[in-house]
Amino acid sequence: MSEPSSNKTGLPEPAWIRLIRVASCRSDAGTFVERDGKELGVFVLGPGQVFVIDNACPHAGGNLSAGDVAEGVVTCPWHQWQFDLSTGVCTDSAAARVQKYPARIRDEWVEIQTSHPCN
Ligand code: FES
Read off the pLDDT of residues 23-48 as tens digits, 9 standing for 90 and up: 999 988 999 999 989 999 999 998 88
Per-residue confidence band for 7, with pLDDT thresholds at 50, 70 and 90: low
Query: What pLDDT is attached to residue 49?
Result: 93
Digit-coded pLDDT (tens) for 77-103: 999 999 999 999 999 999 999 999 999
Residue 76 Cβ contacting ligand 1 at under 6 Å? yes
What pTM did the predictor assign? 0.87
Per-residue confidence band for 115, with pLDDT thresholds at 50, 70 and 90: confident
Ordered structural domains, the chain, with CATH: 28-112 (2.102.10.10)
Query: What pLDDT is attached to residue 47?
Result: 85
Q: Are strands 82-84 and 73-75 parallel, antiparallel or unpaired?
A: antiparallel
Q: What average pLDDT does the chain have?
A: 90
Residue 81 Cβ contacting ligand 1 at under 6 Å? yes
Query: What pLDDT is attached to residue 118?
Result: 46
Residue 82 Cβ contacting ligand 1 at under 6 Å? no
User: Which residue CA neighbors atom 4 of ligand 1 most closely?
Assistant: 79
Per-residue confidence band for 14, with pLDDT thresholds at 50, 70 and 90: confident
How many A from CA of 117 to the centre of ligand 1?
A: 27
Cβ partners under 8 Å of residue 52, min gap 6: 19, 40, 41, 42, 43, 100, 101, 103, 110, 112
